[in-house]
């Protein structure tokens, strides 16, 4: 009893309150998105909002269990949890149910469980565990390679389920590696690659290569100690040129047709508003029609009358934009950023390297989902189907994010008591 | 090592904030800066359902209903919902081929598979009965009620005009009209469109992505009601119009009757005509095509307004009036007639055999060509003018003051100007100022380049009966209220000829009927005045023309009759006019033998004469 009281006393309630705020807003949004006149009660179990309420109650139970469980459980069993979910990922390939093209669901009773959602959390744990030992150093190629394998393994399995969006999520762990000492070049390259990719698709590749050459020459003659950096500049130049040349091949031969279309939509090469461009256009219409104050709770017409596809899951942000306008959207964005930044700041105050790196993993995962999902709804990036944490309808995602967050809240609360 | 890297949190936080900022800017752009998304959103969910008002009714001068509305139905389809349709049955009911069904469905689907399109427009109430009980077998199909124009009597088709769907050019220029709206295309329907059409209403409904109705938008706050169009009270006399159309059956020509004291049109008849009920609803297209392609009888050609004839001897009345006004002609002026008027080179304008010499009254009564050639010469060669040109211009001005040579301004579209030739025309033809009175002498007997429409002829008769003034002829006497007067037609037009010169001419016209050229057409105890005309034309027999008014004092009807290629004015036009006058003044016709002769006469079948169509035709001699 004494320990528990101590734990609750030390919990960072800011994170909990941000969590609860987002979950409740998410629930009301699902209600608004699915709302219809015949089933008006928000606790109606046959509707998505009723089910989501059950998921939320279950999440709260999960959160409390995590808070009161033995403090060493997660750090000790990290690899085990990781291994368990890897196994699940393998199993789902064989025993899973195929839903809209990807085989990533276990059907248990009436509910579907998506192991991929939990695998993200498990990977964050395993990565933190591996890099958490003081002697582990990312500058050591062996350690780096193992860390990368920890990240890539579940991603490859999820790719095998044909759930590209969830697989891409694992890119976010680069931020953890970066905090652990990975050179900033990788981060820079990762940020620059999408830009280069877009350039490569809209500008002739030879012109682009020539531009790189000029740029490289300029940089070379402008910086001091130029001979020392010659090789680096040459390497960057060659790499970018090679990348640009490979983009076309990748785009035309490796990407699947629907992925190609989504990119074309974004680049403005495809204005087929009834076909591939339909989702994004309807999403923008819903958000744009919200104007400054929004249409009001349950007053959204675009979302309520199903003009936006996947509106309770991937395009849930449209409901926010339409019903709560610019103000509401900015508040939601601010709440997410507050939570993510709070996690980073809390992570830095950890004494244990495991807790700190795990915190970075949590923040990275939230950030990636947040930016991809909202970026997609705003038509800034191609359509990638990953949920918006706490907002998108679905038990697996909500539970996985709750567990992910509360393990960190727990670690944070224990920061003085544990090494 | 670890602590050294702590600064990296700021880089990472920086990335987070950057993304947040990008989202905020993007939201600002999408939600506040641009309008297109809110417009698209309304386009998505709002359906504007037009409430079509009933068009205004049209009555005759005695309050008889002439034009009204009847319920009709547009068969609409939402292609997406049209599944398991009993196509064969539907095609049978609509009387269309399977290919036509497929074509219409494809058109509708190309427009939108979620939204309604008209599948078959303007189905009449009778036909809808058959369709209605089977409609449940055609999912995706439903009806939208509209109205159709109906005509109590099959008369005055050209005057009423017809309505049709507003075309793209109209929709582009006038924001009132939307695709599927009706607009008056011709006749009164066109000229009084804005009064007849009423005001459309609008219901705004909210629909979901499958176009299912989700109720009214904001509880109907923005809905508007439809207001029915305003009724029109025409000056037509239904019985007179119908009687005249019967008289003109199987003849080409027209009858126009005007009430001289008001300028109100009593009847406006063109023949051959058609039943206005033919150009209504979904049979319009086919019937219209048939009427257009009937190039022999040209039933769509409104001769009363759009045909131009040389007025022949009826124009001698104008000579008589202008001559007196110019001071070159007096009631006592006497000319002898040697059987014609010599115009040099051995040519002459012929005249028929009659007593000679004649004074003015006698010349009108007998219609002497020689007399009026001399009158015309004395006007043009008048010494008080410096040149022929000046004299001619004065003559032309005075002639045009009778409403000739220009559109009168009738409230039925399509009027022609007619033609009183300009001096420039003769300059072009003969060389500048190289023409003299003798060159243009045929004008004096209403032949040559002069062209006058039947409406202008009737107005001339009305003007003479009024002793020198007229109201612009009009067919709508009151708008909305029966007793209000059409405000567009309250200005008296006065001719350039003094009132005092008219009585002698009218006396001559009275003699025409009692003992002159039209004596066969006189009516017991109605003193009416008239003038025959026989217009030569190169296409066949002469046009038979007659203008008249009655009674002589305070006349109640002025009339012009033209029967094309029929012969002398006295032979056909005069009896038609006299029957019309009798009908109008007495409401019943006693002279059955004349009526029978006219009604039974067929002057067109078997005599195929082709005219140039379009802007009317001009028939020089």
Residue corresponding to tokens 């075309």: B167
Calculate how close chain A gets to B21, using CA atoms only, in Å. Answer: 9
Taking CA atoms, what residue in B is nearest to A375? B23
What pLDDT is attached to residue B80? 79
> How far apart (Å, rounded) are the C-alpha atoms in residues A177 and A361?
9
**Chain B window 3-32: which residues touch A at a Cβ cutoff of 8 Å?**
5-6, 8-9, 11-13, 15-17, 19-20, 22-24, 26-28, 30-32
Model confidence at A2: pLDDT above 50: no
Instruction: Give the pLDDT confidence score for residue B160 in this predicted structure.
Output: 94
- B48 forms bridges with which residues in the sheet? B204
Rg (chain A; Cα; Å): 23
Number of domains into which chain A is organized = 2
Burial class (CB in 10 A: 0-12, 13-18, 19+), B427: middle
Domain that holds residue A304: 2-182+274-413
Confidence at residue B128, expressed as pLDDT on a 0 to 100 scale: 83
- A156 and A197 both lie in a single domain: no
Contacts of A336 (CB under 8 A, 6+ apart): A22, A366, A370, A389, B20
Laid out side by side, the sheet with B557-563 consists of: B264-271, B253-259, B557-563, B543-550, B529-535
Q: Whole-angstrom Cα distance, residue B444 to residue B375?
A: 8
Per-residue pLDDT reduced to its tens digit, B603-612: 887 654 444 3
ipTM rounded to 2 decimals: 0.89
> Cβ–Cβ of A371/B24 closer than 8 Å?
no
CB-based burial label for A17 (10 Å; 0-12, 13-18, 19+):
exposed
What's the CA gap between A230 and A227, in Å, rounded? 5
pLDDT over 90 (residue A345): yes
3-state helix, strand, coil in chain A (%, to 5): 70, 5, 25
pLDDT score for B609: 46
Residue B25 has pLDDT above 80, yes or no: yes
Angle (CA) A398-A37-A389 rounded to 5° is: 15
Q: Are B98 and B85 in contact (CB under 8 A)?
A: no
Q: What is the pLDDT of residue A359?
A: 95
Of B68-72, B286-290, B418-422, give the range with the top mean pLDDT: B418-422
Q: What is the pLDDT of residue A269?
A: 62
A267 found inside a domain: no
Crossing angle between the packed helical segments B238-247 and B592-600, to the nearest 10 degrees: 60
Q: Which of A277-281, A322-326, A363-367, B154-158 has the lowest mean pLDDT?
A: A277-281
Domain B70-151 has CATH 3.40.50.2000: no
- Is residue B613 scored above 50 in pLDDT? no
- What per-residue confidence (pLDDT) applies to A5? 54
A69 and A114 belong to one structural domain: yes
CA neighbor of B613 nearest in space, from B306, B249, B230, B349 = B306
Contact yes or no for B12 and A179 at CB 8 A: yes
Whether A288 and B8 lie within 8 Å, measured CB to CB:
no
DSSP-based helix, strand, coil % in chain B, nearest 5: 40, 20, 40
Facing residue for A326 by CB, picked from B28, B34, B36: B28
- A375 pLDDT tier (thresholds 50, 70, 90): very high
Q: Is the predicted pLDDT of residue A419 greater than 70, yes or no?
A: no
| Residue-wise pLDDT tens digits, A4-41 | 556 677 889 999 999 999 999 999 999 988 887 676 77
CB contact under 8 A, A175 and B17: no
Determine the distance in angstroms separating the CA of B153 from the nearest CA of chain A, rounded to an integer. 52
Residue of B nearest to A352 (CA): B2
Q: What is the pLDDT of residues B370-379, one digit of tens each?
A: 999 999 999 9
The domain boundary residue, chosen from A194, A226, A254: A254
Tens-digit pLDDT profile for residues B581-590: 999 999 999 9
Q: Does one domain contain both A160 and A202?
A: no
Q: State residue B361's pLDDT score.
A: 93
Query: Taking residues B450-465, what's their average pLDDT?
Result: 96
Q: A305, A324, A357, A379: which to substitute to probe chain B, counting the most B Cβ within 10 Å?
A: A305
Q: What is the mean pLDDT of residues B485-496?
A: 88
Cα separation, B494 vs A73, whole angstroms: 114
Does A305 contact B45 at a Cβ distance shorter than 8 Å?
Answer: yes
- Asked if the Cβ–Cβ distance from B44 to A285 is below 8 Å, we say yes
**pLDDT the model gives residue B85:** 84
Q: What is the pLDDT of residues A91-146, one digit of tens each?
A: 988 887 777 667 777 877 667 788 999 999 999 999 999 999 888 888 888 999 99
With CB atoms and an 8 Å threshold, state whether A179 touches B8.
yes
Q: In this predicted structure, what is the pLDDT of residue B618?
A: 33
> Worst-scoring range by mean pLDDT, A329-343, B305-319, B384-398, B473-487?
B473-487
Position with higher pLDDT, A204 vs B193? B193
Read off the pLDDT band of A217 (50, 70, 90): confident
Q: Are residues A160 and A93 in the same domain?
A: yes
Q: Which residues, 6 or more positions from B343, have their beta carbon under 8 angstroms from its beta carbon?
A: B349, B373, B438, B441
Per residue in B492-509, is it b (16+ CB within 10 Å) or e — as a string?
ebebebeeebbebbbbbb
A172 lies in the same domain as A314: yes
Mean pLDDT of chain A: 85
Spelled out in words, what is the top-level CATH class assigned to the domain B241-290+300-600? alpha beta
pLDDT digits (tens, 9 = 90+) for A231-250: 888 888 888 888 888 887 77
A104 with A250, same domain: the answer is no
pLDDT (mean) for B326-349: 88
pLDDT > 70: percent of chain B:
97
Looking at the fold, whether A237 and A367 belong to one and the same domain comes out as no
Distance from the Cα of A364 to chain B's closest Cα (Å) equals 9
The pLDDT assigned to A190 comes to 84
Write down the pLDDT at residue B471: 95
Q: How far is CA B299 from the centre of its chain?
A: 13
Give the tens place of pLDDT for each residue, A291-331. Answer: 899 888 888 878 777 778 777 888 999 999 999 999 999 99
Report the helix count and the strand count for chain A, using DSSP H and E.
Answer: 18, 3
Name the band, by pLDDT with cuts 50, 70 and 90, for residue B116.
Answer: confident
| Contact between A306 and B17 using a beta-carbon 8 Å cutoff | no
| pLDDT, mean of residues B514-524 | 88
Mean pLDDT value of segment A364-373:
95
User: Per residue in B389-433, pLDDT tens?
Assistant: 999 999 999 999 999 999 999 999 999 999 999 999 999 988 888
Which DSSP letter does residue B29 get? I
A63 in the same domain as A160: yes
- Asked if B44 and A307 come within 8 Å (Cβ–Cβ), the reply is yes
Terminal CA-CA length for chain B: 118
Residues A219 and A137 in one domain: no
What is the pLDDT averaged over residues A352-365? 94
Q: Do B321 and B501 form a contact (C-beta atoms < 8 A)?
A: yes
Residues A195 and A83 in one domain: no
Domain boundaries, chain B: 70-151, 241-290+300-600
What per-residue confidence (pLDDT) applies to A268? 64
Mean pLDDT of chain B: 88
Q: Which chain A residues are within 8 Å of B221, Cβ to Cβ?
A: none
Note whether A178 and A195 are same-domain residues: no
> Is residue A178 domain-shared with residue A300, that is, in the same domain?
yes
Note whether residue A97 is domain-resident.
yes
Asked whether B150 and B68 are in contact (CB, 8 A), the reply is yes
Residue B140, min C-alpha distance to chain A (Å): 20
Tokens standing for residue A416: 């003085």
């Amino acid at each position: 009893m004494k320990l528990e009281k101590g734990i609750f006393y030390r919990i960072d309630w800011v994170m909990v309150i941000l969590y609860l705020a987002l979950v409740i807003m998410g629930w009301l949004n699902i209600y608004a998105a699915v709302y219809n006149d015949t089933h008006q009660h928000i606790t109606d179990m046959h509707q998505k909002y009723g089910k989501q309420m059950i998921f939320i109650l279950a999440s709260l139970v999960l959160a409390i269990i995590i808070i009161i469980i033995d403090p060493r459980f997660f750090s000790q069993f990290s690899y085990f949890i990781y291994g368990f979910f890897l196994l699940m990922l393998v199993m789902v390939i064989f025993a899973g149910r195929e839903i809209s093209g990807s085989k990533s669901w276990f059907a248990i009773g009436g509910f579907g469980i998506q192991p991929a959602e939990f695998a993200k959390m498990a990977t964050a744990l395993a990565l933190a565990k591996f890099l958490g030992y003081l002697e582990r150093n990312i500058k050591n190629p062996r350690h780096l390679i193992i860390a990368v394998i920890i990240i890539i393994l579940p991603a490859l399995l999820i790719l095998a389920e044909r759930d590209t969006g969830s697989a891409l999520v694992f890119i976010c762990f680069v931020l953890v590696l970066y905090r652990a000492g990975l050179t900033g070049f990788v981060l820079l390259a990762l940020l620059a690659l999408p830009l280069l990719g877009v350039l490569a698709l809209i500008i002739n590749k030879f012109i682009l290569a020539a531009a790189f050459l000029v740029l490289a020459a300029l940089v070379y003659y402008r910086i001091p100690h130029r001979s020392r950096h010659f090789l680096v500049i040459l390497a960057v130049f060659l790499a970018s040129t090679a990348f640009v040349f490979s983009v076309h091949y990748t785009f035309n031969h490796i990407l699947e047709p629907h992925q190609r279309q989504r990119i074309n939509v974004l680049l403005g090469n495809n204005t087929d508003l009834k076909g591939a461009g339909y989702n994004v256009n309807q999403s923008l219409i819903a958000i744009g029609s919200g104007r400054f104050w929004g249409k009001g709770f349950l007053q959204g017409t675009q979302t309520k009358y199903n003009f936006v596809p996947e509106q309770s899951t991937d395009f849930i942000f449209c409901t926010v934009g339409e019903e709560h306008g610019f103000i509401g959207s900015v508040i939601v964005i601010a709440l997410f950023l507050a939570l993510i930044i709070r996690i980073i700041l809390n992570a830095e105050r950890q004494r244990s390297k495991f807790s700190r790196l795990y915190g970075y993993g949590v923040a990275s995962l939230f950030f990636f989902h947040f930016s991809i999902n909202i970026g997609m709804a705003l038509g800034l990036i191609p359509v990638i189907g990953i949920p918006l944490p706490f907002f998108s309808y679905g038990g697996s995602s909500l539970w996985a994010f709750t567990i992910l967050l509360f393990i960190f809240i727990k670690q944070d609360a224990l920061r003085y008591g544990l090494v | 090592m670890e602590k050294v890297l702590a600064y990296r949190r700021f880089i990472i936080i920086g990335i987070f904030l950057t993304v947040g900022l990008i989202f905020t800017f993007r939201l600002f752009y999408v939600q506040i800066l641009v309008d297109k998304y809110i417009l698209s959103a309304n386009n998505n969910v709002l359906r504007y359902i037009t409430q079509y008002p009933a068009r205004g009714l049209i009555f005759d001068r005695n309050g008889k209903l002439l034009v009204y509305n009847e319920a009709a139905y547009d068969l609409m389809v939402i292609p997406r919902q049209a599944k398991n349709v009993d196509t064969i049955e539907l095609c049978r009911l609509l009387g269309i081929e399977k290919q036509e069904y497929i074509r219409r469905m494809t058109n509708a689907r190309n427009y939108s598979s979620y939204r309604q399109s008209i599948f078959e427009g303007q189905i009449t109430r009778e036909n809808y009965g058959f369709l209605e009980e089977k409609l449940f077998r055609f999912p995706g199909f439903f009806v939208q009620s509209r109205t159709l124009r109906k005509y109590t009597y099959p008369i005055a088709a050209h005057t009423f005009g017809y309505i049709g769907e507003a075309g793209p050019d109209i929709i582009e220029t006038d924001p009132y009209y939307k695709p599927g709206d009706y607009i008056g295309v011709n006749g009164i329907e066109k000229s009084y469109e804005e009064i007849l059409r009423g005001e459309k209403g609008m219901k705004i409904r909210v629909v979901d992505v499958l176009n299912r109705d989700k109720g009214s938008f904001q509880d109907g706050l923005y809905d508007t009601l439809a207001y029915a169009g305003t009724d029109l009270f025409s000056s037509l006399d239904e019985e007179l119009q119908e009687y005249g159309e019967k008289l003109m059956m199987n003849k080409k020509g027209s009858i126009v009757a005007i009430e001289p004291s008001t300028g109100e049109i009593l009847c406006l008849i063109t023949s051959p005509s058609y039943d206005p009920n033919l150009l209504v609803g979904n049979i319009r297209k086919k019937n219209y095509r048939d009427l257009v392609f009937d190039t022999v009888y040209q039933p769509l050609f409104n001769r009363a307004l759009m045909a131009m004839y040389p007025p022949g001897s009826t124009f001698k009345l104008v000579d008589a009036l202008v001559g007196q006004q110019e001071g070159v002609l007096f009631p006592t002026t006497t000319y002898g007639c040697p059987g014609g008027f010599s115009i040099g080179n051995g040519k002459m304008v012929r005249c028929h055999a009659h007593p000679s010499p004649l004074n003015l009254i006698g010349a009108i009564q007998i219609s002497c060509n020689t007399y009026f050639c001399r009158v015309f010469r004395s006007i043009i060669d008048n010494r008080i003018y410096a040149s022929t040109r000046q004299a001619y211009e004065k003559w032309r001005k005075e002639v045009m003051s009778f409403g000739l040579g220009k559109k009168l301004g009738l409230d039925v579209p399509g009027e022609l100007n007619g033609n009183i030739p300009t001096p420039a025309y003769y300059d072009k033809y003969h060389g500048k100022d190289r023409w003299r009175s003798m060159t243009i002498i045929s004008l004096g007997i209403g032949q040559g380049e002069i062209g006058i429409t039947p409406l202008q002829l009737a107005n001339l008769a009305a003007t003479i009966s009024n002793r020198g003034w007229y109201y612009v002829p009009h067919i709508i006497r009151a708008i909305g209220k029966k007793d209000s007067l059409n405000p567009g037609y309250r200005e008296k037009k006065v001719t350039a000829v003094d009132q005092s010169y008219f009585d002698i001419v009218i006396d001559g016209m009275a003699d025409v009927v009692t003992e002159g050229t039209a004596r066969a057409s006189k009516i017991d105890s109605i003193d009416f005045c008239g003038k025959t005309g026989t217009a030569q034309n190169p296409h066949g027999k002469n046009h038979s023309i007659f203008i008249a008014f009655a009674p002589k004092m305070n006349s109640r009807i002025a009339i012009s009759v033209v029967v094309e290629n029929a012969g002398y004015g006295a032979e056909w036009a005069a009896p038609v006019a006299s029957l019309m006058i009798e009908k109008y003044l007495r409401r019943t016709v006693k002279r059955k033998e004349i009526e029978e002769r006219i009604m039974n006469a067929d002057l067109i079948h078997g005599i195929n004469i082709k005219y140039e169509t379009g802007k009317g035709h001009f028939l020089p001699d």
